[in-house]
Amino acid sequence: MSEASDILNRLLSSEVKGDLLVLFRKNPGIIDTIDGVARRIGRTGDSIENDVKDRWCRTTDRKDR
């Protein structure tokens, strides 16, 4: 599988991640708390926290930066 496919699969591995991707694409300058972001996509902070942390950890842990 190509790197692009891996990235896409990772970004869309859950419905929450898909919702977050759309939100940040439409609002690239958004600055908010987890609870604020969750409200914008019709969810609770607790329900998106793991997906937010998962994406952050995978991005910052990359060794090829």
**In-domain check, residue 23:** yes
Rounded to two decimals, the pTM is: 0.71
CA nearest to 26, candidates 40, 15, 36:
40
Number of structural domains (the chain) is 1
Structural domain for 26, as ranges: 3-60
pLDDT 10s digits, 1-59: 688 888 788 778 889 998 998 999 999 999 999 999 999 999 999 999 988 887 545 55
Q: What is the pLDDT of residue 48?
A: 93
Q: What is the pLDDT of residue 53?
A: 84
Three-class SS string for the chain? CCHHHHHHHHHCCCHHHHHHHHHHHHCCCCCCCHHHHHHHCCCCHHHHHHHHHHHHHHHHCCCCC
Compute the average pLDDT of residues 57-64. 49
Q: What is the pLDDT of residue 13?
A: 83
**In-domain check, residue 65:** no
